[in-house]
Amino acid sequence: MHLIVCVKQVPDTTDVRIDPETNTLVREGVPSILNPYDAHACEEAVSLKERYGGEVTAVSMGPLQAVEALRDCIAIGADRAVLVSDRAFAGSDTLATSYAVWSAIRAAEKAWGPAQVILCGKQAIDGDTAQVGPGVARRLDVPQITYALRVVELDADANTITVERRVEKGLEMVVSPLPCLLTCVEEMNEIRYASLPNLIRSLRYEAVIWGVKDLEADPTLCGLKGSPTAVARVFAPPEREPGEMIEGETAAAKVSGLIARLRERLGQSAPVN
Amino acid sequence: MASEQPFTAQADKLDRLEFDVVIVGGGCAGLAAATVCARAGLRPIVLERGRPGNKNVMGGVLYTRPTAEVFGEFWREAPVERSVIEQSLWVLTEDSALKIGYRSKAFAEGTPNAFTVLRARIDAWFAGQAAAAGALVVPNTKVEEVLRDGERVIGVRTSRPDGDVYAPVTIICEGVNPQLTQQLGMQGEIEPRDMSSVTKEVIALPPEVIQDRFHLAQDEGATIELFGDSSARLLGLAWIYTNRDTISIGVGVSLNDYVKTQVTPHDMLQRLKAHPMVEALVDGGEVREYSSHMIPEGGWNKLPQLYGDGVMVCGDAAMLVNAVHREGSNHAIWSGKLAAETAVLAHERGDFSRRTLANYWHRLYREVPTIRDLRKYRYAMTYPEKHRAVLGAYPDLASYAAREMLTVDGVTKREKEWRILRQALRARSVFGMAYDAIEALRLI
């Protein structure tokens, strides 16, 4: 079985600030990490490999330093990693990105066999769009199971996968034919503490790097050219006003203070006793 | 951008992780050892519990010579802060400072004498050098115990699954908390008096402000060591070092004194920053980093066994610190280098027993003058304990003498000298002073 996991390197948003003047992300000095949801997707791919056998290929698009995120996948237990990196991909929106990632999956299938399950994180923590996974599924023309919480069973003979997914008001059990694309939530699993041999392998690992030509991709669908999204305006939302503290000597005084404030809000005058 | 690399999925999966040398700890000692081993053609693995530099705390001044022995003219590319051209000692009382200093541009010429550094940056660079030489530097992996075959050390067990690593020789550079060295019985119990607790802040200021306050040109640095009131008369030293766009300020006090007085290290540092002379230097800066660490100051009398069958101990784990002269990282690098060269020799001979590894200690003692200094300074840490006046009465006396001699108030200099002498005798008896002086001379 061939499992493909799609990952992205993102700035560690716990450290990201918005420059109030330019309204852009301050990325300077912010460390890059493997998108946490993608790490869970990779963990799931590796545990599926351990349950059902097969190989895991990690795929990413990004600048050359994104190999670090792929190294993290190798440490978790992916067998190989491919970085799609080319100037032609610069400025990609989610449409062009899903095209590039789809092209990479197609090339990886050509090299290492058709994939039965493609796994993505539910979204990236920098863009938060959650569009690339579904976009890739659409291009592959395979069913997608978003917000996957648990793989109940993968039946190779029947060529189906049974997945529990998170929906707004509960859980949904879905049976889908293979191949199929899952987007994974963080509750799906706990990312393992990598074994020392895998960690060492990841440190030495040189990812396969593919450009537009290797993917036989259509340059007009890549990067800025292939991105119809136009950013009209970027702004930081206004800061929320802090809550009001109602002071008072005793609990009773605080309560009457609160009632007075609420009445004031509602435009009522104090009751006449 | 296409890569022609052949794909190797399982090629380097090993049944047993075996290397030529296992190095525990990616600080100054471990990274120097790894670099030297790798350049000699051995395959070393460095096991580092965090990331190189991210948990290390040092003042810090890095002396050039020992560092250059391993890393060449590192200052041309490594992220050093400033080349030290002025070093001062301040004896502080509550409201004054007696300053002794030496400044010379010659320190920065040719091979500069010393640099101020920030460990997070410089250690990452050392790690890059080690990796470029061919060493494998493994981060986020803690070594839990030493693996032994009888008396012989054959590797280590890490916290990771399948985490045993084997090598005929292990170099322990585990730092100030030498658990493995103790596990091996090479170091005994470490007591509070053998440790200093250091608290440090890195305070951001524009480079021009730093240069202005310390009278420096660009790239030039100054260091100040402080004594007396800077550690509230407890056994300790404080320091202020200039970095490129920050100032490092810290105070280290014997753990013993902290335990006895119940003063908190945090309060000690804030007290120092509030001293009028010190405040003027750090005023307006923004605190960027706050850190705390231990310094092993047991000295010569607390040196562990530095070698055994299949094992050597370097750096802070080996207590190779001269507390008086703030020398630690230089010894770490020297010891790492010599342990690595001994590991190379052991591989050549095919003998990893203590007989061959003893060369490490012999060379360290013979070839590194500042290691011999450790012996000379072996009573240095007990001296102020026995001679409390050094931290108590003498700074006040020195301050009084300086103020008296420098004040013009219609009194003859002879009379002033008598006043100072009377003041001195009130603080300490003639015999007391003689005792302090004789013991001090013996120390030097």
**For residue range A97-134, what is the model confidence (pLDDT) as tens digits?**
999 999 999 999 999 999 999 999 999 988 889 999 99
Residue of A nearest to B13 (CA): A197
Domain-embedded: residue B4: no
Q: State the average pLDDT over residues B398-427.
A: 85
Cα(A89)–Cα(A78) distance, rounded to whole angstroms? 25
Cα(B130)–Cα(B45) distance, rounded to whole angstroms? 10
User: Are B266 and B327 in a shared domain?
Assistant: no
Res A247: pLDDT: 87
Positive/negative CA dihedral, A103, A108, A110, A115: negative
Res B322: pLDDT: 86
Res A269: pLDDT: 67
Cα(B54)–Cα(B439) distance, rounded to whole angstroms? 41
Answer whether residue A14 shows pLDDT above 90: no
Interface touch B1/A209, C-beta < 8 Å: yes
Of residues A13 and A133, more confidently modeled: A133
* pTM listed for this prediction: 0.86
Q: State the average pLDDT over residues B275-300.
A: 92
Domain-embedded: residue B104: no
Res B233: pLDDT: 82
Tokens describing residue B392: 């108590």
* CATH classification of the domain holding B24: 3.50.50.60
Q: Which of B241, B264, B296 is the last residue of a domain?
A: B296
In total, the C-beta contacts within 8 angstroms joining chain A to chain B are 61
Answer whether residue A228 shows pLDDT above 50: yes
A72 in B contact zone (CB under 8 Å)? no
Q: Which of A85, A201, A206 has its CB closest to that of B5?
A: A206
Res A245: pLDDT: 87
Answer whether residue B12 shows pLDDT above 60: no
In angstroms, what separates the C-alpha of A100 from chain B's closest C-alpha?
Answer: 15
Average pLDDT for chain B: 89
Q: State the average pLDDT over residues A57-73.
A: 95
- Reported as a pLDDT band with limits 50, 70 and 90, residue A215 is very high
User: Are B45 and B158 in a shared domain?
Assistant: yes
Q: Does domain A2-226 have CATH number 3.30.420.40?
A: no
User: Are B150 and B250 in a shared domain?
Assistant: no
Res A135: pLDDT: 95
Res B420: pLDDT: 86
Token pair 């990609």 in the structure block, residue? A92
Q: State the average pLDDT over residues A179-198.
A: 96
Of residues A91 and A56, more confidently modeled: A56
Which ranges in B215-328 belong to alpha helices (H)? 255-261, 265-274, 276-282
Domain-embedded: residue B99: no
What are the pLDDT digits (tens) for A16-35? 677 767 666 676 777 899 99
A209 CB neighbours in chain B (<8 A) are 1-3
Region of poorest pLDDT, from A231-245, B42-56, B74-88, B272-286: A231-245
Q: Which of A196, A204, A208 has its CB closest to that of B17?
A: A196
Interface touch B7/A208, C-beta < 8 Å: yes
- Reported as a pLDDT band with limits 50, 70 and 90, residue B317 is very high
Cα(A238)–Cα(B82) distance, rounded to whole angstroms? 42
- Reported as a pLDDT band with limits 50, 70 and 90, residue B381 is low
Answer whether residue B443 shows pLDDT above 70: no
Answer whether residue B7 shows pLDDT above 50: no
Answer whether residue B4 shows pLDDT above 60: no
Answer whether residue B53 shows pLDDT above 90: no
Residue of A nearest to B134 (CA): A204
Q: Which of A80, A194, A214 has its CB closest to that of B2?
A: A214
Q: State the average pLDDT over residues A247-259.
A: 91
Instruction: Classify strands B152-158 and B286-296 as parallel, antiparallel or unpaired.
Output: unpaired
* CATH classification of the domain holding B224: 3.30.9.10
Res B6: pLDDT: 36
What value of ipTM does the predicted structure carry?
Answer: 0.84
**Computed over its alpha carbons, how large is the radius of gyration of chain B?**
24
Region of poorest pLDDT, from A139-153, A167-181, B54-68: B54-68
- One-character DSSP codes across B371-428: HHHHHHTTTTTTHHHH-GGGTTHHHHHHHHHHHHHH--SS--HHHHHHHHHHHHHHHS
The residue count of chain A comes to 273
User: Are B396 and B372 in a shared domain?
Assistant: no
User: Are B155 and B57 in a shared domain?
Assistant: yes
The residue count of chain B comes to 444
Q: State the average pLDDT over residues B403-420.
A: 86
Tell me how many domains chain B contains.
3
| Domain, as residue range, for B396 | 387-443
- What pairs with residue A208 in β-bridges? A82
Backbone angles phi, psi at A230, to 5 degrees: -120, 130
Any idea where the domains of chain A sit in the sequence?
A: 2-226, 240-273
Q: Which of B250, B272, B296 is the last residue of a domain?
A: B296
Answer whether residue B146 shows pLDDT above 90: yes
A208 CB neighbours in chain B (<8 A) are 3, 5, 7
Cα(A29)–Cα(A44) distance, rounded to whole angstroms? 31
Res A272: pLDDT: 57
Domain-embedded: residue B382: no
Q: Which of B331, B349, B376 is the last residue of a domain?
A: B376
Q: State the average pLDDT over residues B339-368.
A: 96
What are the pLDDT digits (tens) for B194-208? 999 999 999 999 999
Q: State the average pLDDT over residues B46-62.
A: 87
User: Are B69 and B162 in a shared domain?
Assistant: yes
User: Are B74 and B162 in a shared domain?
Assistant: yes
User: Are B308 and B404 in a shared domain?
Assistant: no
User: Are B60 and B167 in a shared domain?
Assistant: yes
Answer whether residue B49 shows pLDDT above 70: yes
- Produce one character per residue of B321-344: b if its CB has 16 or more CB atoms within 10 Å, e if not: bbbbebbbbbbbbbbbbbbbbbbb
Report for B131-140, B230-239, B325-334: range of highest mean pLDDT: B131-140
- Reported as a pLDDT band with limits 50, 70 and 90, residue B76 is very high
Q: Is A169 exposed, middle or buried (0-12, 13-18, 19+ CB in 10 A)?
A: exposed
Res A123: pLDDT: 93
Q: ∠ CA(B111), CA(B117), CA(B119), 5° rounding? A: 130
Under 8 Å between Cβ of A125 and A105: no
Domain-embedded: residue B71: yes
